[in-house]
Amino acid sequence: MSETAKIAFVASKAEEAQRQLAEVAQRYGQTPAKDADVIVALGGDGFMLQTLHRHKELGKPVFGMKAGTVGFMMNLYRVDGLVERIRRAQESVLRPLVMQASTESGNVTEHLAFNEVSLLRQTKQAAKIRVSLNGAAKIDELVCDGVMVATPAGSTAYNLSAHGPILPLGSDVLALTPIAAFRPRRWRGAILRSQTEVTFEILDHYKRPVSATADSFEVRDVVEVTVRESRERTMTMLFDPEHNLEERIINEQFAM
């Protein structure tokens, strides 16, 4: 990548991110995302997820720089030497989850999730969910606040908060993690091969409604949700060699 590299800068609406956007665009120029060699996202982890979703059809690599309060998926912000940093950056290929959700009204929708697909109860009553793997029922009735399937990249986010395992990048596994499970009492979740198709059937869904969320896209009143890893779509994120995503995931397991 030369010093005249075509970079598309995108930023969250936060004041600091907008200040950074003006600074880097003046220094390196601004290219439309469809014509760029790389997309540079300025913000926090939430904005990075928005960027991945918004530009997933372009297949451009994304280099993030932190301007938000949470930046696990972001590099440090520095305006100097940006092109050289991008040239030296290490790639992390993300394979998103595909969520197919069927609702009480009969609608079927499909959405991608780079972090996790989560199911949550919509009322004060606990959800009752049958959990199947590749068509075989493994839990006939999971009584819980919810349940999620998380990717390795998303395993340090909501999944970790729900006491799920941290997964190394490239491990070809997914985390199946309950959220405040009441029964079975001793079930703490499972680590699955990435090729596993997970099906959630909502039991007694009229009385105990459940919503399903793929990253930040929510579908309410679901009756069945299937989750699988996409083999067709990938996104590439770029990280400084001294602070790459895989190293961050390893370090997170030793955080006190």
- Please check the confidence at residue 246 and state whether its pLDDT lies above 80: no
Write down the catalytic residue from 37, 45, 80, 145: 45
Give the pLDDT of residue 255.
63
The mean pLDDT value for 150-170 works out to 90
Confirm whether 45 is a catalytic residue.
yes
- Please check the confidence at residue 106 and state whether its pLDDT lies above 70: yes
Residue 167, SS3 per DSSP = coil
Residue 59, SS3 per DSSP = coil
Q: For the segment 173-199, what is each residue's pLDDT rounded down to a tens digit? A: 999 999 999 999 889 999 999 999 999
Confidence of residue 256 (pLDDT cuts 50, 70, 90): low
- Please check the confidence at residue 3 and state whether its pLDDT lies above 70: no
- How far is 191 from 104, CA to CA, in rounded Å? 30
Give the pLDDT of residue 232.
85
Residue 252 neighbours by CB under 8 Å, 6+ apart: 156, 160, 166
Q: Where are the domains of the chain?
A: 7-94+234-252, 97-229
Give the pLDDT of residue 72.
76
Q: What is the pTM of this model?
A: 0.85
* pLDDT over 90 percentage in the chain: 80
- How far is 46 from 71, CA to CA, in rounded Å? 9
Please state which CATH number belongs to domain 7-94+234-252.
Answer: 3.40.50.10330
- How far is 17 from 66, CA to CA, in rounded Å? 8
Confidence of residue 116 (pLDDT cuts 50, 70, 90): very high
- Please check the confidence at residue 58 and state whether its pLDDT lies above 90: yes
Give the pLDDT of residue 70.
61
Going through 180-221 in order, the beta strands assigned E by DSSP cover 190-193, 198-203, 210-214, 217-219
State the architecture of 97-229 in CATH terms: Sandwich (2.60)
